[in-house]
Amino acid sequence: MTTIRVLIADDQMMVRQGFTVLLNAEPGIEVAGQAVDGLDAVAKVAELVPDAVLMDIRMPGFGGIEATRRITKPAGTTVKVLVLTTFGLDEYVYKALRAGASGFLLKDAAADELSHAVRVVAAGDALLAPNITKRLIAEFSPVTATPRAPLKDRVGGLTERETEVLSLIANGLSNGEIAERLVVAEQTVKTHVSRILVKLGLRDRTQAAVFAYETGLVRPAGY
C-alpha cells in the first residue's frame, strides 16, 4: 500500500501537533512535515513534495489562500491542498477553492473525517459534495453580465455535449445523476468530465464548477 505523505500548515502549534498525532495513527498516512505559515508551507512543499497539504486559511502574514495558489499553480504539480477552516461556508473558502484547493474541512472534524478527507484529495478527487459546491460557488462567485473573452474562448473549445456536462457539474449533479439526465452510461460521463478538465486545464470537478460560474455559463439563482 502506498503511503500518503501529508504536510500540515497552521500557525497554532497545538493544531499542528494534534493533526500529526491523528494522521500518523492512520494506516497508509504519514505526516512528512509541518509549516507555521503560508510562506513556510510553500517552501516545505518544494522541499518535501508531499501528496497533500492541510492548509489553514487564516494565518498571519502570508496566508493560506496565496500559499494554495502558489502550490497548485505550477504545471504538472500533483500536490493537493485541503483547506482548514473554523467558519464553514464563507468567502475565504470560496477564494481558496478558486486558488486551487480540492476541498475544505472544519478544524473540529473527527479523526475518521480527517483521514477520509486526506485520502480523497490525495487520490485526485474533489472533497466537496456536489450540493455544497453549488451553494458555495453560487453565493460567493462574482456575477458578471457576459463571460470574459479569454474564458469564453476556452469554453468555445468544448463540444456541445461537454458544455452541457460542465453546466450540470456546476449545478451540483453527480456523474450518476448526469448519466441519468442525459440517458447515457456513467462511464461515458466520466470520459466527458476527464476531457473537460484536460481541455480547460482544470484540476477537478470543483475547479470546473468555479469555472462555469465565472465564465457566465451557469448563473447563480436569482440573477
**Pairwise CA distance, residues 75 & 54, whole Å:** 21
User: Which residues lie below 8 Å from residue 112, measured CB to CB, with a gap of 6+?
Assistant: none
Query: Residue 7 pLDDT more than 50?
Result: yes
Region 82-103 average pLDDT: 82
The pLDDT tens digits of the residues spanning 155-211 come to 768 999 999 999 998 887 888 889 999 999 999 999 999 999 999 888 888 788 888
According to the per-residue pLDDT averaged within each range, which of 98-102, 134-138, 146-150 is highest?
98-102
Query: Residue 36 pLDDT more than 80?
Result: yes
Share of the chain above pLDDT 90, in %: 45
- Which pLDDT band, with edges at 50, 70 and 90, does 154 fall under? low
Query: Residue 145 pLDDT more than 50?
Result: no
- Tell me what pLDDT residue 1 has: 66
The pLDDT tens digits of the residues spanning 101-122 come to 988 888 888 888 899 989 988 8
Q: Which CATH superfamily is domain 4-126 in?
A: Response regulator (3.40.50.2300)
Query: Residue 60 pLDDT more than 50?
Result: yes
Asked which of 65-69, 136-140, 212-216 is least confident by mean pLDDT, the reply is 136-140
Share of the chain above pLDDT 70, in %: 86
Find the helix packing angle between 186-200 and 175-182, rounded to 10°: 110
- Tell me what pLDDT residue 49 has: 95
Closest CA to 67 of 48, 51, 87, 46: 46
- Which pLDDT band, with edges at 50, 70 and 90, does 153 fall under? low
- Which pLDDT band, with edges at 50, 70 and 90, does 144 fall under? very low
Phi, psi of 74 (to 5 degrees): -55, 135
Cell of 189: 460521463
**Pairwise CA distance, residues 144 & 17, whole Å:** 43
Query: Residue 152 pLDDT more than 50?
Result: yes
Is the whole-model pTM more than 0.75? yes
Query: Residue 127 pLDDT more than 50?
Result: yes
Domain with CATH 3.40.50.2300 in the chain: 4-126, 139-214
User: Which residues lie below 8 Å from residue 106, measured CB to CB, with a gap of 6+?
Assistant: 84, 85, 86, 88
Query: Residue 11 pLDDT more than 70?
Result: yes
Specify the 3-state DSSP secondary structure of 192: helix
Residue of 87 and 160 predicted with greater confidence: 160
Q: Is the CATH number 3.40.50.2300 carried by domain 139-214?
A: yes
**Radius of gyration of the chain from its Cα atoms, rounded to whole angstroms:** 18
Which stretches within the chain are classed as H helix? 13-24, 38-48, 64-72, 91-99, 111-122, 130-140, 149-156, 160-170, 175-182, 186-200, 205-214
Burial of 177 (0-12, 13-18, 19+ CB in 10 A): middle
